[in-house]
Amino acid sequence: MSHKYTFGHVAVIGGSTGKTGAPCMAAESSLRVGAGLSTVIVPASLNTIFEVKLTETMSIPIEDSGKGHFGIETIEEVVKIVEEGKFSAVVLGPGLGNEPETYEFAREIIKLITKPSVIDADGINALSGALEILKDKEQEIVITPHIGEFSRLTGLSKEKILEAPYEVATEIATKFGVNVVLKSGRTVVATPT
């Protein structure tokens, strides 16, 4: 006996002008791999795009004053929705955008969310220079950088990463207590243990 909540509810926080496809793909992918429900949490001015594009996925629009991206003024609202909702896990970053206030929004969300999380794309870029945020997290975190994002995240050159992908992925995983999925021609998965 099971129902949709038995298989989990994924919240995807992302989207910005010109980047609505990424959170849609993440939400649909979560359903395809077995989640019972998925919901995108998106800037309100873009919500119509999500409502038209997504069939099975729900959306929660967050007021953005027409900016087309998340700002720091919405942190409390998003955290409340995620923490008080029936969400099992959070995906942060697909299509989030690279506005400075959006990066600040992402860093604060990472600090405050207590659900298991996947940090991807612009969520990873927001952590560049701020990796220490991950050290204090108790919940399971997976980061999914490609080589360029991993370079920005760690300050290592792309060449150094490609020379020793297993070693650098393992070093970050153990140092910060996160699971690293380093994407390249060969994907490297490293855990804190």
Query: How does the average pLDDT of the chain come out, rounded?
Result: 97
pLDDT (tens digit, 9 = 90+) per residue, 93-107? 999 999 999 999 999
pTM of the predicted protein model: 0.97
Flag whether pLDDT at 166 surpasses 90: yes
Q: What SS3 class is residue 41?
A: strand
pLDDT in tens, 48-107: 999 999 999 999 999 999 999 999 999 999 999 999 999 999 999 999 999 999 999 999
Round to whole Å and give the CA distance between 1 and 87: 20
Would you tell me the crossing angle of helices 165-176 and 147-154 to the nearest 10 degrees? 50
